[in-house]
């Protein structure tokens, strides 16, 4: 590679940036940022903004009412998009985590044995850091074959109730999308994901004394039990459809026939058409009362669309795989049962590749970790892929 090309300058600069990346990551991991902690997620967003604006990059915010603001950073380019390709090269990631308030104080960022640990260190604050430095590199040295947008959202872990509209709007103007969720432990990226629907059903019965007036009661918990069995029976592993009632609550006291009960459903599916079929069956289960006199109401609390690989997305993966190889990485594509915002961009027709962030594992657990040695090579791989978009016909 000619040492004077923008790509050569970018990869050489990135090779010197691991200490700065880790410093940014440590500060970010040690800042609370659960999905329902708007102030915390916005504090992480302020760190992103300070870094990017310090590099001379323009950052704007779409205010969130209940959850973290969406930040949109823009790196301009004088290069014209190839052919009729959509306009922006989008780098995407979420700042929120699944952890409760105070988690960083209980187990702050630490480095041990070539790995970094801490809440959200791989899912996905290291991916946020990678995107920050990627935007900085192209702003500093040029070389992008079109305008670049960094989208930093704040509510992915709960289905992006406010972020989805912002993501979909950005996707409609996207040339390609790189979602920097953590790379798999194998080093692979994700080329397909399940869709998911997260819903709550509330059952109403009638309270009565379970000893002195048992016959007058209508048990919402009894109805809940019937509905759980019926919902779980919709699971079809051959079709990749799973249903799990993972949380339940209800009742008033042990000696009261339960006047209320609630269950929360996790539905996962592969094919987009399966979503409406299964949701229709769930609605039918809600409308059927096994315990006479009970009533049920279903509410969808969050939803992800599946990530399906279009021909253009397959071309993007081939490009990334070659770019990763040039950066010394052996990368394959994997299918994941987990959901991500990449499903929203793919559904809008934007060629999308997911899990191009640094490699990590055991997300959502106290043992979550990041492989330190993956930070720079994964950033260099993305830089090479971005610079190769024109040649790949994307």
Q: How far is CA 91 from CA 257, 321, 322, in A?
A: 53, 17, 19
Q: Say yes or no: 291 and 310 in one domain.
A: no
Q: Say yes or no: 215 and 235 in one domain.
A: yes
Residue 394 belongs to a domain: no
Q: What is the pTM of this model?
A: 0.90
Residue 392 belongs to a domain: no
Q: Say yes or no: 332 and 224 in one domain.
A: no
Band (4; pLDDT cuts 50, 70, 90): confident
Q: Which of 270, 304, 338 is the last residue in one of the domains?
A: 304
pLDDT of residue 1: 63
Band (128; pLDDT cuts 50, 70, 90): very high
Q: Is the pLDDT of residue 356 over 60?
A: yes
Residue 393 belongs to a domain: no
Q: Are strands 174-179 and 352-354 parallel, antiparallel or unpaired?
A: parallel
Residue 250 belongs to a domain: yes
pLDDT of residue 76: 87
User: How far is the first Cα of the chain from the last one, in angstroms, to the nearest whole number?
Assistant: 22
E-assigned strands of 18-137? 58-62, 70-75, 88-94, 110-112, 115-117
Contact call for residues 325 and 286 (beta carbons, < 8 A): no
Number of domains in the chain: 2
How would you list the strands of the sheet with 110-112, edge to edge? 110-112, 115-117, 369-371, 360-361
Q: Is the pLDDT of residue 82 over 90?
A: no
Q: Is the pLDDT of residue 11 over 80?
A: yes
Residue 26 belongs to a domain: yes
| 250-263 average pLDDT score | 98
Q: Is the pLDDT of residue 360 over 90?
A: yes
Q: For residues 31 and 43, give the distance between their C-alpha atoms in angstroms, rounded to a whole number.
A: 7
Across all residues in the chain, what is the average pLDDT? 95
pLDDT of residue 162: 95
Residue 216: give its domain's CATH number: 3.30.70.360
Residue 268 belongs to a domain: yes
Task: Please tell me the chain's helix, strand, coil percentages from 3-state DSSP, rounded to the nearest 5.
Answer: 40, 25, 35
Q: Is the pLDDT of residue 263 over 80?
A: yes
| 86-107 average pLDDT score | 94
Taking the mean position of all CA atoms in its chain, how far away is CA 91? 13
Q: Say yes or no: 150 and 12 in one domain.
A: yes
Write the pLDDT tens digit of every residue in 313-335: 999 999 999 999 999 999 999 99
> What is the domain range of residue 231?
195-304
Q: For residues 328 and 15, give the distance between their C-alpha atoms in angstroms, rounded to a whole number.
A: 13
Q: For residues 239 and 231, give the distance between their C-alpha atoms in angstroms, rounded to a whole number.
A: 16
Percent of the chain scoring above 70 in pLDDT: 97
Find, among 114, 130, 112, 113, the residue nearest to 28 by Cα.
130
| 149-168 average pLDDT score | 95
Q: Say yes or no: 205 and 139 in one domain.
A: no
Band (77; pLDDT cuts 50, 70, 90): low
Residue 113: give its domain's CATH number: 3.40.630.10
Cβ neighbours, 10 Å, residue 330: 10
Q: Say yes or no: 29 and 46 in one domain.
A: yes
**DSSP string for 205-224:** -B-EETTTSGGG-B-HHHHH
Q: Say yes or no: 69 and 165 in one domain.
A: yes
E-assigned strands of the chain? 58-62, 70-75, 88-94, 110-112, 115-117, 148-153, 174-179, 189-193, 195-204, 208-209, 242-250, 256-257, 260-269, 295-304, 333-336, 352-354, 360-361, 369-371
Residue 48 belongs to a domain: yes
Residue 1 belongs to a domain: no
Q: Say yes or no: 240 and 357 in one domain.
A: no
Q: Which of 261, 285, 304 is the last residue in one of the domains?
A: 304
Q: Say yes or no: 172 and 217 in one domain.
A: no
Q: For residues 2 and 48, give the distance between their C-alpha atoms in angstroms, rounded to a whole number.
A: 32
**DSSP string for 215-284:** GG-B-HHHHHHHHHHHHHTT-BGGGTBEEEEEEEEE-S-TTEE-SEEEEEEEEEESSHHHHHHHHHHHHH
Write the pLDDT tens digit of every residue in 98-117: 999 999 999 999 999 999 99
Contact call for residues 198 and 265 (beta carbons, < 8 A): yes
Q: For residues 222 and 16, give the distance between their C-alpha atoms in angstroms, rounded to a whole number.
A: 62
Q: Are strands 256-257 and 189-193 parallel, antiparallel or unpaired?
A: unpaired
pLDDT of residue 147: 95
pLDDT of residue 111: 98
Contact call for residues 327 and 384 (beta carbons, < 8 A): yes
Q: Say yes or no: 11 and 68 in one domain.
A: yes
Contact call for residues 368 and 362 (beta carbons, < 8 A): yes
pLDDT of residue 381: 98
Q: Which of 304, 336, 352 is the last residue in one of the domains?
A: 304
Q: Say yes or no: 214 and 362 in one domain.
A: no
Q: Say yes or no: 83 and 153 in one domain.
A: yes
Least confident window among 1-5, 82-86, 87-91, 188-192: 82-86
């Amino acid at each position: 590679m000619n040492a004077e090309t923008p790509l050569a300058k970018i990869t050489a600069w990135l090779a010197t940036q691991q200490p700065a990346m880790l410093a940014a990551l440590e500060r970010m991991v040690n800042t609370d940022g659960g999905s329902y902690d708007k102030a915390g997620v916005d504090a992480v967003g302020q760190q992103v903004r300070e870094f990017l604006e310090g590099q001379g990059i323009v950052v704007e915010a779409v205010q969130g009412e209940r959850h973290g603001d969406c930040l949109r950073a823009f790196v301009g380019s004088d290069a014209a998009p190839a052919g009729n390709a959509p306009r922006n090269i989008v780098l995407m990631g979420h700042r929120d985590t699944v952890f409760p308030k105070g988690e960083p104080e209980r187990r702050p960022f630490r480095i041990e044995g070539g790995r970094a640990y801490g809440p959200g260190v791989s899912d996905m604050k290291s991916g946020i850091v990678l995107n920050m430095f990627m935007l900085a590199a192209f702003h500093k040295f040029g070389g992008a074959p079109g305008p670049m947008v960094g989208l930093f959202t704040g509510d992915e872990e709960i289905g992006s109730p406010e972020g989805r509209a912002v993501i979909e709007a950005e996707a409609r103007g996207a040339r390609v999308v790189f979602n920097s969720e953590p790379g798999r432990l194998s080093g692979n990226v994700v080329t397909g994901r399940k869709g998911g629907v997260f819903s709550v059903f509330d059952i109403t019965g009638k309270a009565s004394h379970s000893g002195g007036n048992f016959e007058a009661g209508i048990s919402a918990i009894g109805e809940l039990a019937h509905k759980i069995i019926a919902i779980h029976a919709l699971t079809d592993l051959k079709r990749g459809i799973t249903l799990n009632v993972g949380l339940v609550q209800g009742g008033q006291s042990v000696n009261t026939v339960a006047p209320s009960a609630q269950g929360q459903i996790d539905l996962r599916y592969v094919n987009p058409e399966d979503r409406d079929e299964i949701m229709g069956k769930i609605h039918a289960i809600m409308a059927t009362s096994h315990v006479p006199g009970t009533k049920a109401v279903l509410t969808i609390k969050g939803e992800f669309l599946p990530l399906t690989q279009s021909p253009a997305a397959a071309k993007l993966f081939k490009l990334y795989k070659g770019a990763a190889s040039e950066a010394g990485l052996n990368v394959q594509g994997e299918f994941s049962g987990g959901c991500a915002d990449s499903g929203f961009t793919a559904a809008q027709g934007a060629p999308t590749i997911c899990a191009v962030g640094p490699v990590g594992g055991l997300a959502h657990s106290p043992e979550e970790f990041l492989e330190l040695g993956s930070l720079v090579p994964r950033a260099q791989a993305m830089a090479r892929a971005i610079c190769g978009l024109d040649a790949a016909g994307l």
